[in-house]
Amino acid sequence: MHQNTLEYALQQDKNDPLSYLRKEFHIPKDKHGNEWLYFTGNSLGLQPKRTQKYIQQELDDWAKFGVEGHFEGKTPWLPYHEFLTEGMAKIVGAKPKEVVVMNTLTTNLHLLMVSFYRPTKEKYKIVIESDAFPSDRYAVESQLNFHGYNIEDGLVEWNPREGEELLKIEDLEEIIENEGEEIALILVGGVNYYTGQYLDLKRIAEIGHRRNCIIGIDLAHGVGNVLPKLHESGIDFAAWCTYKYLNSGPGSLAGLFVHERHAYNKNLPRFAGWWNHNKDTRFNMRQPFDVMPGAEGWQLSNPPILSMAAIRASIDMFDEIGMDALRSKSERLTGYFEFLINEIKTDRIKVITPKNPKERGCQLSIQVKNADKKLHEKLINENIITDWREPDVIRCAPVPMYNSFEDVFRMVEILRKLL
């Protein structure tokens, strides 16, 4: 049973086998040298201290070898993305051949839709969740326009029920039952950015595949946060960024997944570049295009090594710890966080994130009645960095790698006083 005391929080940290990880990160400080309470890993993860060493190695090899760093460096640049593949596959629950690190999230979604959104006169609609992240909505709308369909007819929204914030899988099932013959693609966020709701990917795949719909997942708020088991889920494709829970730095490279039942299909239409051409003949320069098998077959260009070095630093940490351990701590942290929020005796606040820890990531979205962004600004003045979302929600992510039970306790105490 949780206790609403600082002593209890400190004891939980003392008993936490992952508490040592906090020292592996740079924690932002104010001008007086006091550490901030950082709860925005769902927007930008903190920098691991080892990242500088990984990037410096590539800078040193560039200085030492010049172009020969592609072959002679400690971690040669030519196959550099391959150093990330196995670790990334473990994080998302995929086979290594199903995963590649490349480009940025929305670019990857577009490249994947080139291959998997193949509308016909009869089957052309796309399903998204009604409160999808804006870039996903823009991408989907532009794909509909590109193929000559109007948004009003071609875009189908999966809405929460009236007066509710969370999506119900039964409502998606009803949409597919009613319109499945016209729906070509279901593209939803695996973890909703606003509510933190973690969707049942396997069931979504089963529902969509019954009516021959392609299933795509935006895993931006899920990768490094939940255990999506992408291969086992049966979805067709997924894409994600790496700068949130994977702590790879602002604007860093993204990743994608293509299920193996598609990954070896060389006849899938796709855009091409020399980095998805057969690596054995890539530098011959005059060979006809010969697409590589697996997820690598969606690459276009040689990647930015310095960004990949930061990703490798993070993936190595995940590989040392394991997602099971991180997920376990995540559930304990959000459980304690929710308990403390409920201890605030006021009807002004409500947690809109699912109560079941299995149905949420390491995020609690706190709705505050009659509040505006001034509350967010007051938290900042108290050295607490959270994420405000209009009209009245504070998103807080206690990340298991660097947030503590003490962080959670102190944050809620300050919120209580402000309310």
Do domains 6-35+323-418 and 56-320 share one topology? The answer is no
pTM of the shown model? 0.95
pLDDT of residue 285: 78
Any idea which residue has 């990330």 for tokens? 84
Query: Distances in Å between the alpha carbon of 207 and those of 97, 159, 170, 178, 215?
Result: 26, 17, 10, 12, 10
Q: Give Cα 290 to chain centroid, integer Å.
A: 31
Q: Is 346 helix (H, G, I), strand (E, B) or coil?
A: coil
Quote the DSSP letter at residue 29. B
Return the structure tokens found at 121.
Answer: 């006169």
Q: What is the pLDDT of residues 76-104, one digit of tens each?
A: 999 999 999 999 999 999 999 999 999 99
Question: What fold does the segment set 56-320 form as a domain?
Answer: Aspartate Aminotransferase; domain 2 (3.40.640)
Q: What residues in the chain have per-residue pLDDT under 70?
A: none
Containing H/E element for 243? none
pLDDT of residue 159: 98
Q: What is the pLDDT of residues 108-118, one digit of tens each?
A: 999 999 999 99
194-207 core/surface letters (b: 16 or more CB in 10 A; e: else): bbbbbbebeebbeb
pLDDT of residue 278: 84
Domain boundaries, the chain: 6-35+323-418, 56-320
pLDDT of residue 350: 93
Q: Of 409, 376, 378, nearest to 40 (Cα)? A: 376
pLDDT of residue 391: 87
CATH of 6-35+323-418, one of 3.90.1150.10, 3.20.20.70, 3.40.50.410, 3.90.1300.10: 3.90.1150.10
pLDDT of residue 281: 84
